[in-house]
Amino acid sequence: MRKRVRISWPSQLILFSLFLLVRCAGSQDTSQKNIVIRWKNNQAVGLSMALSQFKAHSKETLPELLKVQLTNSKTAILGDYSIQSDSVIFEPLIPFTPSLRYEVLLENRLVGEIDIPQAVSSTTLIGIYPSQDTLPENLLKFYFVFSHPMREGHSLVYVSLLDAKGDTLPNTFLNLQPELWNAEKTVLTLWLDPGRIKRDLQPNKSLGAPLTKGNHYTLVVSERWPDESGARLTQSYTKRFVAATRDITSPDVKSWTIKTPSKGTTQALEIHVKEALDYVLLQNTIWIIDAQGKTINGVIQVSNKEHLVDFIPASPWLAGAYKVQMESRLEDLAGNNLNRLFDRDITDRRTKPSQQTVFELNYRID
């Protein structure tokens, strides 16, 4: 028969009070004084531990004796130890993860524990491009522009396309790995599955095109999408649009109009493109050249639902002849660029690709 030991209630109270005292004293020592999180760009990139708590050991031996690990793990975290004035610094290979608890051990004895606080939401979705609400049914891509760097790798979990009834449309986007983020991880390019857009390819035959003319759609971006620090977006976002006629022609630069600025000013040169073109390529493929062939420094701004390109020069305009140069890789919303169609019928001689790499428009400032 097992013997039960009972502790009287006053003794229980005293023990509980003692436990609380030790626990509070411990947490104050470790999280506020002896072990401090080092932050960089909202990420916990290291721990700073006061040398005073390791008086019994020479500081040279500390990197060998110290160990940082996840609580409930026995694996030492990889990283670098260094001594900086009165502290020993541990920098893990990757930042500590928000909401996880870590412990520091010296010769396998617990020195202290530290909780990495949960990341706070502050990242917003600044824009979805194309920004029009009527898009060709052979639309090729969306750009998502964020205020801060985002987490890569699982974007399709957080983006969905709904039909007019609110049902999610499957297999709309191409699952590319690596994903097409810019270097700063603030702009994501998402392709509607090109295999479904291109006529007669297997996915097009079996699933049809992702969009159908006349149908209404809602693009939904979930607030659960984590940014680089692991925090969610501040809210969810939607973009409603309707699919229109298939775009089967290349952009025609000859139809563009130019509004010239006055000499001696830094007014914008306005380039009115006839149809909405690719938001990112508009910023990257247009150059202003002077009569000597020199590129004019300045800034490109795209507005009016991707119909207007403003070029603002860094220095005032001088009188003379200029050229607007467009690289042939500039695309419309359906991926047709200046010299070839995205989905070309090779039996149609009229759509034979051109080899021209640069297109030009001339203008003068007097």
Partner 1 sequence: MKKMFLSVAAALSVAVLVAYTNRTASVMSGFETGTPEVKSMNALAFGPEGVLFIGDSKSASVFAVDTKDAENVANAKPVDIKNIDQKIAALLGTEAKNITIQDLAVNPLSKKVYCAVQAANGTPVLFKIDGENIQPVGLKDVKFALVPLNNAPAEDAKDQRGRPLRVWAISDLNYADGKVMVSGLSNQEFGSTFRSIPFPFTNKQEQSSLEIYHAAHGQYETNSPIKTFTTAELNGKKFLVASYTCTPLVLFPIDDLKPGTHVKGRTVGEFGAGNSPLDIITMKKGNDLFLIMANSDRPVMKIKYKDIETYEGSLTEPIKENYSTAGVPYVSFPMVNVLQLDKLDDTQFVFLQRRANGDLDIRTSNNRSL
Q: List the interface residues with partner 1, window 323-362 (CB under 8 A).
A: 329, 331, 335, 337, 342-347
Beta carbon of residue 24, minimum distance to partner 1 (angstroms, whole number)? 26
Cβ neighbours around 53 below 10 Å, total = 18
Considering only residues 86 through 125, tell me which ones interact with partner 1, judged by CB under 8 A. 92-97, 100, 102
191 contributes a contact to partner 1 by CB under 8 A: yes
The token duo for 55 is 């008086």
Distance CA 78, CA 170 (A): 41
Beta carbon of residue 290, minimum distance to partner 1 (angstroms, whole number)? 15
Q: How many residues bind partner 1 (CB under 8 A)?
A: 73
Beta carbon of residue 39, minimum distance to partner 1 (angstroms, whole number)? 13
151 contributes a contact to partner 1 by CB under 8 A: yes
The token duo for 230 is 């692991």
1 contributes a contact to partner 1 by CB under 8 A: no
Q: Which is nearer to partner 1, 221 or 231 (CB)?
A: 231
Considering only residues 235 through 264, tell me which ones interact with partner 1, judged by CB under 8 A. none
Considering only residues 53 through 82, tell me which ones interact with partner 1, judged by CB under 8 A. 68-70, 73, 75, 77-79
178 contributes a contact to partner 1 by CB under 8 A: yes
DSSP, residue by residue, 58-126: -GGGHHHHEEEEETT--SPPPEEEEEETTEEEEEESSPPPTT-EEEEEETTEEEEEEEPPPPPP-B-EE
Distance CA 326, CA 280 (A): 13
Q: Which is nearer to partner 1, 218 or 325 (CB)?
A: 325
Closest CA to 102 of 83, 64, 76: 76
**Tokens 């659960």, residue located:** 224
In this structure, which amino acid lies at residue 344? R
299 contributes a contact to partner 1 by CB under 8 A: yes
Q: Which is nearer to partner 1, 8 or 297 (CB)?
A: 297
Beta carbon of residue 97, minimum distance to partner 1 (angstroms, whole number)? 4
180 contributes a contact to partner 1 by CB under 8 A: yes
Beta carbon of residue 9, minimum distance to partner 1 (angstroms, whole number)? 42
Considering only residues 127 through 146, tell me which ones interact with partner 1, judged by CB under 8 A. 140-141
Cβ neighbours around 18 below 10 Å, total = 10
Alpha-carbon 249 to chain mean position = 31
Beta carbon of residue 111, minimum distance to partner 1 (angstroms, whole number)? 16
Q: What is the dihedral angle through the alpha carbons of 14, 19, 25, 28, rounded to the nearest 10 degrees?
A: -140
Quick one: which of 287, 305, 307, 323 contacts partner 1 (CB under 8 A)?
A: 287
The DSSP H or E segment spanning 288 is strand 286-290
43 contributes a contact to partner 1 by CB under 8 A: yes
